[in-house]
Structure 1
Amino acid sequence: MALQWVMLGYVVVGEALAALLLTFPWPRMLKTRLVATLSSLLQPAMGIVPFAIFQLLDIYWKNEHRLMCTSDACTSVERDRYERSIYKAQRNAVLSVSACLLYWIIFRICKYYNEIQNLEEQIKRWKET
């Protein structure tokens, strides 16, 4: 089970780096190539969104069917284990949501940059005619 969270963590770090690279003020040629490369990587990377949503549903299902340890009958060890599982679930939920959110941010940045390039080309053609 931990391997999927490690993989999702690496994906989130990669998406964060990609989003950071997209927001730097690079020279025009480098920015164009970076956006083109990331745009071509977005379609295969789309598989992370259903995976993250599945993980969120798994967290929700486990939370609904988790044994509660709030009474006095629980020992301190059981209570600590319960609290740790809650913290892990919260951490994993944040990880899953951030994977989806960062994918959407990268997608929108690439789309806006491509739209800006198309508009600049249209303006250039209008000025030439």
Structure 2
Amino acid sequence: MALQWVILTYLVAVEAAIAVLLTLPSPKLVKNRLVSLVSLILQPALFVVPFAGFQLLDIYWKNEHRLMCTSEICTASERDRYEKSIYKAQRNVILCAASILLYWSVYRICKYHKEIQHLEEVEKKSKEL
């Protein structure tokens, strides 16, 4: 079960790095090549959205069926284990939300860049006439 969270963590790190690379100022040729490369990767990388959604559903189901340990009958170690599982679930929810948000951000950055590039081409053609 931990492998899926490691994969999602690496995906979030890669998405964050790509978002930073796309927003850093760079020469126009480098930026165009980078945006075209990322645009090619975006469609196969769309699997992160249903994957994160499934993980959110899994967290919700586990939260609904988790044994509560809030009474005085529980030992200190059981209470610590319960609290640790709650914290891990909260961390994983943030991880899932971050992966979806970063994917959307990278998608929108690429789309805006392509729109700007198209508008620059239209302006260039209109100046030539």
**Shorter-chain TM band:** over 0.9
Q: Which runs of 4+ in 1 moved over 2 A?
A: none
Gaps of 5+ in 1: none
Shift of 1:111: 0.1
CA deviations on 1:34-82 (whole Å, 9 max, x unpaired) are 0000000000000011000000011011111111100000000100000
TM-score by length of 1: 0.99
Deviations 1:70-106 (A, max 9, x none): 0000000100000000000001110010000000000
CA shift, 1:22, in A, is: 0.4
Identity of aligned residues (%): 64
2:79 aligns with 79
SS in 2 for 1:68: coil
Name the SS of the counterpart of 2:30 in structure 1.
helix
1:122 positional shift = 0.5
User: 1:34 maps to what in 2?
Assistant: 34
- Computed over aligned residues only, the root mean square deviation of the Cα atoms, in angstroms, reads 0.4
> When the two structures are superposed, what TM-score results if normalisation uses the length of structure 2?
0.99
Distance 1:26 1:94 in 2: 31
For 2:122 and 2:10, how far apart are their aligned partners in 1? 39
Aligned length: 129
Structure 2, unmatched stretches of 5+, are none
